[in-house]
Structure 1
Amino acid sequence: MNQSVVKALKIIDLFNETTSELSLKEISVRTGLPKPTAYRMLQSLESMGYVMRTEAYDQRYQLGLKFLELGHLVSHQLDLRQIAKPLMKRLAEEINEAVHLVVVHGNHATYIEKVDSNRALRLYTKVGKSSPLYIGSGPKLLLAFMSKDEQLTRLNELNNHHKKSLIEELASIRLQGYAQSEGEQDVDTTGLSYPLYDHKREVVAALTVSGLSSHFEGENLEWIKLQMKQASEEISRCLGYSPSVVQR
């Protein structure tokens, strides 16, 4: 193992959301590296753009713009469908219900991926289907995690009474962390949706399960919710999401 690389990564790992800047002394203490060694490593990292000083003559350091460049590169390389599909397949096998991937497209929600159940009677939902953002668990979940201004912009076509009740429902969805719909897109069907987050901690898609309402009752409903929550968290981690760091 290359010790120089290890030392450099130790320094980089010190920076996070709660620690955006560090002095040379702090870096030396936290990594256990002698000051001269830490300084040489920082000089090398600075020359490559991985760290930078907060001011030209200030001995405080922060992550450099190279990470922003790399972050964009990784982000573009990650394909949502490619990442989600294997985990969607696994979820569909576990619960034996249809699993969908839904994203916002303009003022509508679009179904961009689907894994069918093995049931004889299946719901017909084709990839590419669009739905208003206020109908169904997936579209509503995506709408719920938008800003208030974005929500109102997309709800202009609704009358005030419907808009008011929907805004209350969206607040409830955001609070509980998932959406559930009953018979909104197809009669006698239930939809459940959980959010998928990316590396910027933004909701980029809805993981949606739908099937006959008789399959979504009692203990089975709670079991499906648990499996969906776990699957959504795993997909989000694969998209670069990590929970906010809580300072103790």
Structure 2
Amino acid sequence: MNQSVAKALQLLDLFTEEQPEWSLKDISKQSGIPKPTAYRLLTTLESGNFVFKMKTTEHDSRYRLGLKLLEMGQLVSEQLEVRKIALPFMQMLANDINEVIHLVIVNQNKAVYIEKVENTRALRLYTKVGKSTPLYMGSGPKLLLAHLPIDKQREIFREVGNKQLRDGRVIDERRLREELVEIRKQGFSYSVGEQDPYTTGISYPIFDYRGHVISALTVSGLSSYFEGDNLRRIKNQTEVTARQVSRKLGFN
């Protein structure tokens, strides 16, 4: 680990429920890091809202943890909560339609698969919990991309360039923008062969109590199973399941 990062994390570890506030002098003494170095690290942490500085007197400043850590903690809490709540519903859905069910979230500029329930078919999809993929590839990632703020979407678009899908198709930014608009309009995302050949993915959004899309409930399987009445049944039951999970998270 980078030494500066390690030292910055060491400083953050000093803040506890018993001692939520520290002076620069005490931080330096407790951590064993020289005052100039500790001050430089704290200034960097302050600029990122990881700590904030309170001036108690003209010659004394004290530090507390910043709101950025609260924001990050809330994000982790939500991710753990949605995974815990969604899993039994995912298992029921998998039993009903016998397809692979995934739960997908956004992490930085990637889509990350945080839960998976298998089907009983002999041919399995190569996915695993923890897998990350671009936000412009696959039904779950694209559904999440469609619900990101515009400025974040622009950031992702800058990564697209002449990237290709697994089947060799070049990603067209204009077409992708149009597809994201359509996803928001129709309320679900649909993809064929974008991550694995001969597979189809269908995804519906899961909302939190604020009405924000926090994850995608994704059904994936061989495209030959995603046709006609079976496709309609898969879409209907996936949508119902996503709504059930959303209600459990406080969404009305």
Q: TM-score, normalised by structure 1?
A: 0.66
**Equivalent residues in 2 for 1:9-20 (5 A)?**
none
How far is 1:147 from its partner? 2.0
State the distance in 2 between where 1:140 and 1:190 align: 13
Are 1:173 and 2:183 matched, yes or no? yes
Are 1:202 and 2:212 matched, yes or no? yes
How far is 1:154 from its partner? 1.5
Are 1:186 and 2:196 matched, yes or no? yes
Q: 2:227 aligns with which of 217, 235, 245?
A: 217
Listed one character per residue, the Cα deviations across residues 9-47 of structure 1 (whole Å, up to 9, x for unaligned) are xxxxxxxxxxxxxxxxxxxxxxxxxxxxxxxxxxxxxxx
Unaligned regions of 5+ residues in structure 2, if any? 1-72, 163-170
State percent identity of aligned pairs.
Answer: 54
Are 1:114 and 2:116 matched, yes or no? yes
State the distance in 2 between where 1:195 and 1:76 align: 18
- One-letter identity of the residue aligned with 2:193: G
**Equivalent residues in 2 for 1:1-248 (5 A)?**
76=77, 79-159=81-161, 162-242=172-252
How far is 1:79 from its partner? 1.1
How far is 1:215 from its partner? 0.4
How far is 1:76 from its partner? 4.5
Listed one character per residue, the Cα deviations across residues 166-225 of structure 1 (whole Å, up to 9, x for unaligned) are 111000011000000000000000000000000010000000000000000011100100
Listed one character per residue, the Cα deviations across residues 83-134 of structure 1 (whole Å, up to 9, x for unaligned) are 0000000000000000000000111000000000011111121100000000
State the distance in 2 between where 1:150 and 1:80 align: 22
State the distance in 1 between where 2:160 and 2:123 align: 34
State the distance in 1 between where 2:181 and 2:100 align: 26
- One-letter identity of the residue aligned with 1:144: A
State the distance in 1 between where 2:212 and 2:234 align: 24
Q: Which residue of 1 aligns with 2:44?
A: none
Give the length in aligned residue pairs.
170
Q: Which residue of 1 aligns with 2:30?
A: none
Q: TM-score, normalised by structure 2?
A: 0.65
- One-letter identity of the residue aligned with 1:183: G
RMSD of equivalent CA atoms: 1.9
SS at match of 1:156: helix
SS at match of 1:195: strand
